[in-house]
Amino acid sequence: MGLGDLVNKGKDAFEQNKDKLAEAAKSDQGRDALDKATDAAKKATPDAADSKIDDVRRNIDKTLGG
């Protein structure tokens, strides 16, 4: 499974649970979890993927109104 497959699975999971995730992510604890997930994704992937990870995070923040 490649990086693109993982990204698509993440997008699908997000879409299926968007309402629940939005409420949880708006909390301070949720924002901290998103920060940690972003950092972990950057550490687990090549540096070349950082910009894509940042794009995904910006889209999540925008969707959540942050």
SS3 category, 1: coil
65 versus 1: the higher-pLDDT residue is 65
Q: For residues 37 and 5, what is the distance between their CA atoms, to the nearest angstrom?
A: 17
Quote the pLDDT of residue 66: 60
Q: Taking the domains of the chain in order of start, what are their residue ranges?
A: 26-66
The model's pTM is: 0.61
CB 58 within 8 A of CB 52: no
Q: Give residue 63's identity as a one-letter amino acid code.
A: T
How many whole angstroms separate alpha carbon 48 and alpha carbon 52? 8
Summarised one tens digit per residue, pLDDT across range 25-64 is: 778 888 888 899 999 999 999 999 999 999 999 998 888 7
Q: How far is CA 17 from CA 2, 22, 43, 50, in A?
A: 23, 8, 25, 24
